[in-house]
Every structure is written in C-alpha cells, then in structure tokens.
Structure 1
Amino acid sequence: MTGPASADVSCRVAWGDDAPAIAAVQVRAWRASYAGILPPDLLDSMSVDELAEHWRTSLTRPPDARNRVLVALERNLVTGFALTGPAADPDCDPLADGEVTDLTVDPHKRGQGHGSRLVQAVVDTLRADRFTRAVTWLAAQDDAARSFLTEAGWAPDGAHRTLDLTGDGTVQVKQVRLHTALG
C-alpha cells in the first residue's frame, strides 16, 4: 500500500537538464530565506533563466572532478540541491576537508525530509571523495539552518567572515562556519 508517507523520494547527482529546476528552487528559496537579510531589489532581480545558464555550465564543466551538485527529488520534481567540493578556506586542507557550498530546499517542500536526505547524500558523497571533515558557511542570522545542521551533528568551529555581495560594501552578509567529522 502506498500513500504520502511512502512517496517516491530520493537524492542523486544532478544532470545538465536539471539546471532550470535547480535555478527555480534557488530563486524561491533565496527570496524566502534572505528576505530581511538582503535588499529586496537584489532578490527581485534574480532571474531563473540567467541562473539556469550558470547551473548548466556548473553541471557540465565543473572546475574540479570532486565538485558535485546533488538534487533531492520527489518523484521527478527537484525539491532541493546541494553543492560539494574541496574546501577553499586557507585554514582548510583541500585534500581532507570537503565543503558544502550550498544546501537549499524549496520553501514549499521544507519539513518533509528532503533536507535530511540531502545532508546524508552530501556526507556520503564527501566520504566517497575521501574527505574526512566537512565544512559549510551559513548566514549568521540563519537560525533555522544552524539548528537543522547542529541537530544533524554539525557544530560551529569558531570561524566567521563577512561577504561583500556587491563589491562596494553596501550589501554585506556575516557568516559563521560549521563543521562535522566524516569518519
């Protein structure tokens, strides 16, 4: 017997054809998650078509063989995505430390297990790429994401930074770094 509790859900490595769906999830999620953090005009200017082209390039020509884009699926609907690869921070070892540069779930699909499946897929992927530790950066104000990840075993490691999103100092986002052992 099947029903909502046994819906067809999974995670897999993204394909080039997933680019428009990933971009659409990104726009919806950013507009929901970063309202009040980023200027409304910046969020309103996000274009699914432009982002889809960026995603298509990232999916078909990654800069490193260990850069991966994973998607969470409900049947064939992309409900979220995650990016993994070698950690780029100067205090990280790119051979031992993997980084999750994005972990996003569609706002309309949150609380249904897609994020948990993505986190597990991220951990499995980073382990398969022989990383022993994972790091990720979160907006300092993003209590929901921090709570979600700390419940999954991640913890702050004391690192913090401020991103200048526009290059002129007008849009800055403070971030904190979390980490977890992959052993």
Structure 2
Amino acid sequence: MDITRLANATDSDQITHLQITNWKLSHPEIAHLLDAEDVQSQWAHAITDQGARGRVLICERDGILVGVAAVEFDQDIGHLSLIEVAPDLRRTLIGSRLLNAAADLAHKSGCMRLNCWLNEDQHDGRLFLESTGWGISGASRTLGTVTDDPDRTVVAHQIELTTSLETE
C-alpha cells in the first residue's frame, strides 16, 4: 500500500539514497560529485526548518521510501524543486500522488500557480508534467556545474513548466 505524507527527520537518509541513485542514472557526469553526508544534511535541514516556506513530501510503499517531492512557496507562486521516484517504480502513479500532494500544499499556502524547471533533455519528466496539464511557460535558463576537472563545466539548459492551481 502506498502512503504519501510529509517527510520527517528520520526520512533524510532514505531520501538521500533515492536522490543519489536517480542522479547516477540521469546525471552521471556530475553524480559522482555528490557527497552523501552533505546531501543528507541538506535534506535534514529542509525537512526540519519550520520557518521554511516549503515542504518535503515522500511516498512509501510497504514502509519503504519510493518517491520524494519538494515544493517551495513564494507568495502566490509555488515551485516544485524536485520530484524523484525509484527507477523501477516509475509509471506506477507514485509521481502522480506526489505531484497532487505538492499542488495541494501549494494551493493551501495561497499559491495560484506551480512552476518547475527541467533540463531540456528530461523528456520523460516533461511528458509526465504535460500529461497532468502542465505547459511550457516560455521561460528558460542555463546553469553550469563545475566538475572535478576545473577546466570542465557541465552546462544544463532548462525550460520552465507551469500549471494553474486556481479552482473554477
């Protein structure tokens, strides 16, 4: 049975494991630069910072963490900063549950829109969001990440997707 809930401090290790596992598949050129202790510390802080304008959600299947989403609130705009599902459990509605829970939280916090930045080559993520009513906003950005080779930077071109949270 799947349960979607707010993350708590004891979830940070499993969230870290899921994120690093997924990044090894989706971002192999930089995944090895992730330090598990640093990532775990950042998740623990994000989960326990009660003053934060955002929340971390997880989905568990039979007590095992299989998905995570992070949403931030900025006045009337929500930002879906992360949604990750265990690779072997994609297309099993876990992502949809997390996305719906994130949208509900953003709406209850007064947000009228929810936005998300995706790398241009994240076709599965884009198709997933578009299948749930999201659209391309027209905004784009370029981010650079320095690798362990100081002469090499990995560049990510991103597009913004958005959806309305307004009820009719």
TM-score, length-scaled by structure 2: 0.90
Q: 2:107 matched to 1:120?
A: no
The aligned counterpart of 2:65 is: 78
State percent identity of aligned pairs. 27
Counterpart-to-counterpart distance in 2, 1:140 and 1:28: 21
Gaps of at least 5 residues in structure 1 are 1-7, 87-93
Segments of 4+ moved more than 6 angstroms: none
Counterpart-to-counterpart distance in 2, 1:130 and 1:115: 23
- Deviation, structure 1 residue 62: 5.3
Counterpart-to-counterpart distance in 2, 1:108 and 1:48: 21
- Deviation, structure 1 residue 124: 0.8
Counterpart-to-counterpart distance in 2, 1:45 and 1:137: 21
Q: 2:44 matched to 1:56?
A: yes
**Which of 10, 33, 37 is residue 26 of structure 2 equivalent to?**
33
The aligned counterpart of 1:13 is: 6
TM-score, length-scaled by structure 1: 0.83
The aligned counterpart of 2:116 is: 136
Counterpart-to-counterpart distance in 1, 2:36 and 2:87: 16
Counterpart-to-counterpart distance in 1, 2:125 and 2:131: 10
- Deviation, structure 1 residue 130: 1.2
Counterpart-to-counterpart distance in 2, 1:140 and 1:63: 33
Q: Could you tell me which amino acid in structure 1 is paired with residue 46 of structure 2?
A: S
The aligned counterpart of 2:31 is: 43
Shift in CA distance, 175/72, structure 1 to aligned 2, threshold 3 Å: same
Shift in CA distance, 63/32, structure 1 to aligned 2, threshold 3 Å: farther
Counterpart-to-counterpart distance in 2, 1:179 and 1:81: 19
Counterpart-to-counterpart distance in 2, 1:17 and 1:51: 14
The aligned counterpart of 2:16 is: 23
Gaps of at least 5 residues in structure 2 are none
**Which of 155, 163, 168 is residue 180 of structure 1 equivalent to?**
163
Are the equivalent residues in 2 in contact too, given 1:27–1:47 (CA < 8 A)? Answer: no
- Aligned Cα RMSD in Å? 1.7
- Deviation, structure 1 residue 47: 3.3
Counterpart-to-counterpart distance in 2, 1:118 and 1:33: 19
